Amino acid sequence: MSQHVTWPVWIALYLYLAGVSGGAFAASTATSFLGDRYRNVARWGAYIAPWPVLIGTAMLIFDLGSPMKFWLLFVKLNPRSVMSMGALILTAFGAIAVIYFWHQLFIEKKVKFTLLNDTLVKVIRFLGIPLVVGIGTYTGFLLNASVAIPMWNNGVLPLIFLASALSTGVAAVMVGVAVTGKWDDVKHEVKNLAIADAVLIGLELFALAAFVWSLHVGNLKQQAALDYLNSHYGLWFWGGVWAVGLLLPLGIKVFTKGETAAKAALNGSLVLFGGLVLRWVIVIAGQMATPLY
Amino acid sequence: MATKRYGMVIDLRKCVGCEACTVACKAENGVPLGHFRTWVQQVEVGTFPKVMRHFVPKLCNHCDDPACVSVCPTAASFKRSEDGIVLINQDHCIGCKYCMVACPYGVRYLDEEKGVVDKCTFCAHRVAEGIIPSCANTCIAGARIFGDLNDPESDIAKFVATHPVQQLKPEAGLGPNVYYVGLDKDFNAKLGNR
């Protein structure tokens, strides 16, 4: 039996970066409804959002067998294909994130013009959440659609990826705000971001537990996939994702008192690390656990 | 019947694993080095001293509802409506390899030089001329029967009607149109998940 990785590590990295962008954008648009109290979160979310997804998209295109033919994605559509629909969502999101970032610069009087008026900004803020849910879940549905790979063909995957996307995006914003802002100015913002991230981590833990359980009680192929995950990627999955990426930041948040910039930066970094390992393990181990023939 | 449904029966009782089909296919279709559109998988069953080696020729199953066609983002992979052959429009394929991770049979490969995915076409260019695919044509034992499953008078339809036949991974639910005779449950399980 030969084992084969058709989708390489770049794909995993892309899934991760798209999630970080989505989460950062969600943090920015959601807090903008709460007025000026969260101006640093709104600012940093807008700063961060466009870049990871743009870098990730570049990776996706370079991984194609024919990178120069990528435009066919927008000409030849297939409504049954998650990738076809995902390419449209991704493009819309990327464009909006860049325009929104530019508008943020305009608000801070760093550029002289903007493409948005007040109504359009409101529209984007309302569209932000469904768009981010689209970005966060579609990366899961993308893998989900492969009937060949038991570890991917699992209905919980989109929820895991959505929770991880929001959580890593919020973490990225939290690190940005905590590291750059004057602590007394940003303290309450970071504090509430940390609470939001803890809730998201809780949701992700729940979804991940459901994922593992469904493989554990599933058919022979699903059980074999879990066996493979445990025996070959156990350290990364349980140690990297569960322990370091989720339980440790949650534990630090819950069991230590007071909020400091260093603590927020540490927790945010752990969450960002865990999200990356999660995508890598699922993408690579999923394929490795599935002998080609 | 109005439309055809091309399929193949592979009689494992007759296959000796000579790989003549593998070679004929590569020559007929100019398959690039390192890739195959059909090949003979060897499977060992049992524990010593009661062991046996089986030969299982593999190729595209030209499924009724192919996973490759549903996932293809540019609709480059398609199932031909008039005869059910699954093909790839190379002008539209961007080489994203989504079909390769979706196919449970592992029959697709990326042609690195052309930058597109390729696979067995049931020798559509030969079938158009009224002759059978190269693998079936060359088989030394007549183990491969090609034909229209929808035509009750065809050799393949008569064979399927009168013999116990099995499919690879029917549980994937894609309706594969390659049938096997003698596909033992014990070694079917050893054929891998994909």
Hey, is the C-beta of A146 within 8 angstroms of any chain B C-beta?
Answer: yes
Please name the residue ranges forming H helices in chain A.
9-32, 39-48, 50-63, 82-107, 118-144, 157-180, 183-216, 220-234, 248-255, 261-288
Q: Is residue B1 part of a domain?
A: no
SS3 assignment, position B89: coil
Q: What is the reported pLDDT for A36?
A: 86
Provide the β-strand partners of residue B6: B148
User: Average pLDDT of chain A?
Assistant: 93
Residue B157 pLDDT greater than 80, yes or no = yes
Hey, is the C-beta of A293 within 8 angstroms of any chain B C-beta?
Answer: yes
Q: Please write down the long-range contacts of B121-129, taking CB distance under 8 Å and 24 or more positions apart.
A: B121/B29, B121/B37, B121/B60, B121/B85, B121/B87, B122/B6, B122/B8, B122/B60, B122/B62, B122/B85, B122/B146, B123/B28, B123/B29, B124/B80, B124/B85, B124/B87, B126/B28, B127/B6, B127/B83, B127/B85
Q: Please report, rounded to a whole number, the percentage of residues in chain A having pLDDT higher than 70.
A: 98
pLDDT in tens, A207-238: 999 999 999 999 888 999 999 999 999 999 99
Q: Taking Cα atoms as reference points, which of A112, A52, A62 lies closest to residue A272?
A: A52
pLDDT in tens, B36-70: 999 999 888 888 888 888 899 999 999 999 999 99
Question: Would the CB atoms of B74 and A78 count as touching at under 8 Å?
Answer: yes
Task: Find chain B residues with C-beta within 8 A of A82's C-beta.
Answer: 71
Residue with tokens 């970005």: A135
Q: What is the reported pLDDT for A257?
A: 87
CATH number, domain of B21, equals 3.30.70.20
Q: What residue of B is the nearest CA neighbor of A283? A: B101
Residue A266 pLDDT greater than 70, yes or no = yes
Residue with tokens 């949650």: A250
Grade residue B143 by pLDDT with cuts at 50, 70 and 90: very high
- CB-CB: which of A65, A82, A287 is closest to B117? A65
Task: Find chain A residues with C-beta within 8 A of B58's C-beta.
Answer: 293
Q: What is the reported pLDDT for B147?
A: 97
Grade residue A292 by pLDDT with cuts at 50, 70 and 90: low
Q: What is the reported pLDDT for A1?
A: 36
ipTM rounded to 2 decimals:
0.91
Q: What is the mean pLDDT of residues A84-108?
A: 94
- CB-CB: which of A66, A83, A290 is closest to B193? A290
Higher pLDDT, A89 or B184: A89
Question: Would the CB atoms of B115 and A69 count as touching at under 8 Å?
Answer: yes
Task: Find chain A residues with C-beta within 8 A of B175's C-beta.
Answer: none
Backbone angles phi, psi at B188, to 5 degrees: -60, -40
Residue B163 to residue B174: CA distance in whole angstroms: 22
Hey, is the C-beta of A154 within 8 angstroms of any chain B C-beta?
Answer: no
- CB-CB: which of A4, A64, A81 is closest to B70? A81
Q: What residue of A is the nearest CA neighbor of B74? A: A76
Question: Would the CB atoms of A147 and B174 count as touching at under 8 Å?
Answer: yes
Residue B164 exposed, middle or buried by CB count within 10 Å (0-12, 13-18, 19+):
exposed
Q: State which residues form the domain around B102.
A: 6-191
Residue B63 to residue B73: CA distance in whole angstroms: 18
Hey, is the C-beta of A59 within 8 angstroms of any chain B C-beta?
Answer: no
Residue A119 exposed, middle or buried by CB count within 10 Å (0-12, 13-18, 19+):
exposed
Task: Find chain B residues with C-beta within 8 A of A78's C-beta.
Answer: 70, 72-75
Helix crossing, A157-180 with A118-144: angle to 10°?
130
| Number of structural domains in chain B | 1
Q: Taking Cα atoms as reference points, which of A164, A188, A154, A153 lies closest to residue A174?
A: A188
CATH topology of domain A9-288: Formate dehydrogenase/DMSO reductase fold (1.20.1630)
Question: Would the CB atoms of A64 and B95 count as touching at under 8 Å?
Answer: yes
CB within 8 A of B73, min separation 6: which ones? A73, A76, A78, A81, A83, A84, A87, B94, B96, B98
Backbone angles phi, psi at B91, to 5 degrees: -70, -30
Q: Is residue B150 part of a domain?
A: yes
Question: Would the CB atoms of B104 and A147 count as touching at under 8 Å?
Answer: yes
Question: Which of B71, B110, B191 to mutate to probe the A interface, most A CBs <10 Å?
Answer: B71
CB within 8 A of A247, min separation 6: which ones? A205
Q: What is the reported pLDDT for A88?
A: 94
Question: Would the CB atoms of A224 and B102 count as touching at under 8 Å?
Answer: no
Question: Would the CB atoms of B74 and A287 count as touching at under 8 Å?
Answer: no
Q: Are A16 and A276 in contact (CB under 8 A)?
A: yes
**Residue A266 C-alpha from the chain's centroid:** 18
Backbone angles phi, psi at A79, to 5 degrees: -60, -20
Residue B171 pLDDT greater than 90, yes or no = no
pLDDT in tens, A163-188: 999 999 999 999 999 999 889 889 99
Residue with tokens 């991917």: A152
Which residue type is seen at A73?
Answer: L
pLDDT in tens, A184-208: 889 999 999 999 999 999 999 999 9
Hey, is the C-beta of A149 within 8 angstroms of any chain B C-beta?
Answer: yes
Q: What is the mean pLDDT of residues A18-31?
A: 95
Higher pLDDT, B188 or A165: A165
Please name the residue ranges forming H helices in A217-247.
220-234
Grade residue A245 by pLDDT with cuts at 50, 70 and 90: very high
